[in-house]
Amino acid sequence: MTTLARSNRVRRTWWTDAVDAAGCTAYTVYNRMMLPAAFEGAAVDCAHLKRAVQVWDVACERQVEITGPDADTLMQRLTPRDLMQLDADQCAYVPICNHDGGMLNDPVALKPRPDTWWVSLADGELRLWIEGMAEAGGYGVQVFEADVQPLAIQGPLSDDLAARVFGEEIRALRFFRHGRFPFRGRPMLISRTGYSKQGGFEIYVEREADAMPLWDALMEAGSDLDVRAGCPNLIERIEGGMLSYGNDMTDLDTPFELGLDKFVQRYDCIGGDALRDHVSDRRIMAVEMDGPLPICDRRWPILADGTRIGVITSAAYSLDYGCGVAIGMVDRRWDAGQGVEIVTQDGSKTGRLRERFWR
């Protein structure tokens, strides 16, 4: 356990002071910005997230804005997902691949207005990929990091909290759809999305002047709902099989290997030829692990009968399931139920491959 050295380079968000004051005990750095990682500890935070409602500072989900007459064309060039089929109010999970079909990022994209995309980044370098593409390809667009800072509301009581602050109409917002809802008389762009399986919303805050009033309004309106400051929870996301760019995938993994087949809908994009010809011999699987686990801060080899068959990319201990929950990239020749040995920095652990995640 070591301190995170703070500097100007590791960017604060509009809520960092509030997050500190709320008792954040650990941060990580995500897109060169502060992302809270723990308050009372992963297990306590997880139990609360599943029971009540949390407000998350996810400003580090940086928005790359692509705007101009060629925005749709460039965006479609970037992803194998067919964007023409989207409704205007839809949020789209869009795998972005390199020339070889490797994943460069797995953002959620939406159009706040015609001819403009916001690409909500996972941790990575995607902005300059898009800028470089626009520059070298001569697209009629501007590409920049918009100073939009998302704040998430997550947990089973999210609808109740959101309705109190933004009005009852927000309850009708469908999954992965966005709309504008009033806060203090101004329309805020809000989507029913978020990095948990507990339900909730992400609010795309566009002005610093709205940031702390919104935080305070949520905390005040939710006091009887036991609302707390929170953050993406490692245990909860692994139980739910939510992948994390940089942990569970890099540019050496293709959408097919990550189980993202359904988002590969056309091949006239960068990496399309590689994706069309792709034959993958490994896949993401859930892996149950026995006993207490160290922090998964490196890839753990998975052995079956002494042979290396894959790696664990994320792991944590789940109180709810009474076992270690983990995500692994595993050779396709091995099936669910297979007993495995996992080599951690604290020695070998036993476990078994699973067909599905826990939730």
Binding positions for a copy of itself, rule: CB under 8 A = 1-10, 12, 20, 24-29, 32, 37-38, 98-99, 104, 123-133, 135-137, 234, 244-247, 270, 295-299, 313-314
CB closer to a copy of itself, 192 vs 237: 237
Q: How far is the CB of 77 from a copy of itself (least distance, A)?
A: 9
202 is in an annotated binding site: yes
Closer residue to a copy of itself, CB minimum distance, 25 or 85: 25
Beta-bridge partner residues of 330: 283, 310
Q: 175 near 188, Cβ under 8 Å?
A: no
CB of 32 to a copy of itself, least distance (A): 6
8 Å CB contact between 73 and 138? no
**Nearest distance, CB of residue 5 and a copy of itself, angstroms:** 3
**Cα angle: 47, vertex 226, 326; to 5 degrees:** 20
DSSP code for 221: H
DSSP structure string for 105-165: E--EEEEEETTEEEEEPPSSSHHHHHHHHHHHHT-S-EEEEE--EEEEEESTTHHHHHHHH
Whole-number minimum distance, CB 251 to a copy of itself, in Å? 9
State the nearest-atom distance from the C-beta of 228 to a copy of itself, in Å.
17
Residue 162 CA to residue 181 CA, distance in Å, equals: 10
Nearer to a copy of itself, 115 or 147 (CB): 147
Reported residue count of the chain is 359
Nearest 10 degrees: Cα torsion 106, 112, 117, 118: -40
3-state secondary structure of 38: strand
**Of 190 and 329, CB closest to a copy of itself:** 329
246 vs 259, which CB is nearer to a copy of itself? 246
Output the CA–CA distances (angstroms, integers) from residue 110 to 29, 39, 66, 307, 319, in the order listed: 24, 31, 11, 44, 36
Q: Which of 173/231 has CB closer to a copy of itself?
A: 231
Query: What is the CB neighbour count within 10 angstroms for residue 8?
Result: 6
Q: How far is the CB of 305 from a copy of itself (least distance, A)?
A: 25
Q: Tell me the closest approach of the beta carbon of residue 332 to a copy of itself, in angstroms.
A: 22
Asked if 314 and 326 touch (Cβ cutoff 8 Å), the reply is yes
Query: Between residues 100 and 206, which has the closer beta carbon with respect to a copy of itself?
Result: 100
d(CA 144, CA 129): 11
- The annotation places the binding site for substrate at 202
Residues of the binding site: 202
